[in-house]
């Protein structure tokens, strides 16, 4: 929505409460605010831009490997992935304790996935939710400006004119 001052709770609620920070079950009454929305702060990709990125840059698929490979598809009408996309399951960005890996580890992971310095990069998943964590991981790793294909596989797979690759490789 274009908000520049945002934060992510590293480790989530479990880490927060384990560190002894205050928690509450009270539900405060919402107060009106004056938020101004400024679209465009994070690049958002459409299907054609995602296809071009898979061909000419690096498009990361944040879904679990069986979904990427087309071995299973519990939600959408077709199984597989966007041709040229590289599988980067989102849990790989998070350590066992639920916290983000160090920026150096994230950078090494993206290099291993084929990302070159300055190369355009974007991410998608099933519905655009977990791919946003890949966009954040890219930012933490020193690759700002990654695009999010918010429609993701749910959008792509509903168009019979769009190809679907299967198997463990980008295809």
- DSSP for residue 90: G
Residues annotated catalytic, as ranges = 125
Query: Within a 13 Å sphere around the CA of 22, how many CA atoms are in the beta-carbon half?
Result: 2
Encoded tokens for 128: 């655009």
d(CA 167, CA 81): 9
* 48 touches 54 (CB < 8 A): no
Alpha helix segments (H runs only) across the chain: 12-18, 47-56, 65-69, 103-112, 130-140, 152-156
Could you identify the residue written with the tokens 């009454």?
29
d(CA 59, CA 18): 36
């Amino acid at each position: 929505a274009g908000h520049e001052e945002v934060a992510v709770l590293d480790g989530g609620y479990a880490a927060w409460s384990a560190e002894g920070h205050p928690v509450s079950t009270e539900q405060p009454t919402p107060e009106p605010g004056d938020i101004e929305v400024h679209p465009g702060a994070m690049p958002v990709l459409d299907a054609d831009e995602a296809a071009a990125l898979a061909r000419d840059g690096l498009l990361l698929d944040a879904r679990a490997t069986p979904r990427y490979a087309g071995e299973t598809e519990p939600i959408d009408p077709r199984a597989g992935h966007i041709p040229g996309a590289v599988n980067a399951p989102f849990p790989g960005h998070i350590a066992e304790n639920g916290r983000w890996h160090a920026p150096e580890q994230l950078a090494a992971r993206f290099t291993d996935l084929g990302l070159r310095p300055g190369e355009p990069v974007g991410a998608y998943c099933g519905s655009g939710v977990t791919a946003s964590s890949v966009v954040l991981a890219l930012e933490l790793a020193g690759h700002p400006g990654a695009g999010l294909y918010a429609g993701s596989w749910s959008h792509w797979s509903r168009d019979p004119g769009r190809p679907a690759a299967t198997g463990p490789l980008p295809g």
